């Protein structure tokens, strides 16, 4: 029996089960990308589909840039790029676009997934703003 959160995380099977429950059931959109230069999507939860209209399975292998469009602020994307290149975190908001082309304000936070000092991927937690 696991008696502490730390014990739970130290068990690979239990830690993965916890991660799956958290991401699959989050009210916020969760997107995970690999650590390659292309930053390809390797996971999207159901809240991502509710937010963007994109089926999670259909975005695997694509980049989050599928959400950008003419109203997306290039300065915000530049700040994001700097954060990714430096291995830091990012928080911001920008106009993004749903699958049907509808613009919306997306607030998001991007954090590195680290194993030791190596960045193995990125997790992005996203939610819609209320004003365009």
CATH of the domain at 59: 3.30.450.20
Rounded Cα distance between 67 and 110, Å, is 15
Residue 48 lies in a domain: yes
Residue 21 lies in a domain: no
Range of the domain at 112: 28-128
pLDDT of residue 5: 64
Prediction pTM value? 0.86
Residue 92 lies in a domain: yes
Mean pLDDT of the 52-76 span = 96
Mean pLDDT of the 2-29 span = 78
Residue 1 lies in a domain: no
Counting the structural domains of the chain, the total is 1
Point out the least confidently predicted range of 7-11, 48-52, 94-98: 7-11
Confidence grade of residue 8 (pLDDT, cut at 50, 70, 90)? low
Confidence grade of residue 122 (pLDDT, cut at 50, 70, 90)? very high
Residue 68, pLDDT above cutoff 60: yes
Residue 23 lies in a domain: no
Rounded Cα distance between 72 and 22, Å, is 29
Q: How many Å is the Cα radius of gyration of the chain?
A: 16
- 3-class SS letters over 35-88: CCCCCCEEEECHHHHHHHCCCHHHHCCCCHHHHCCCCCCHHHHHHHHHHHHHCC
Residue 34, pLDDT above cutoff 60: yes
Residue 23, pLDDT above cutoff 70: yes
Q: What is the mean pLDDT of the chain?
A: 90
């Amino acid at each position: 029996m696991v008696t502490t959160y730390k014990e739970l995380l130290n068990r690979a099977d239990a830690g993965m089960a916890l991660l799956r429950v958290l991401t699959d059931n989050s009210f916020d959109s969760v997107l995970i990308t690999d650590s390659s230069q292309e930053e390809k999507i390797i996971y999207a939860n159901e809240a991502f589909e509710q937010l963007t209209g994109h089926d999670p399975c259909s975005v695997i292998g694509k980049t989050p840039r599928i959400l950008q469009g003419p109203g997306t602020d290039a300065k915000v994307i530049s700040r994001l790029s700097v954060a990714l290149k430096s291995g830091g975190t990012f928080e911001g908001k920008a106009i993004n676009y749903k699958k049907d082309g509808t613009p919306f304000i997306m607030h998001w936070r991007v954090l590195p997934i680290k194993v030791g000092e190596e960045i193995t991927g990125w997790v992005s937690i996203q939610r819609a703003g209320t004003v365009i």
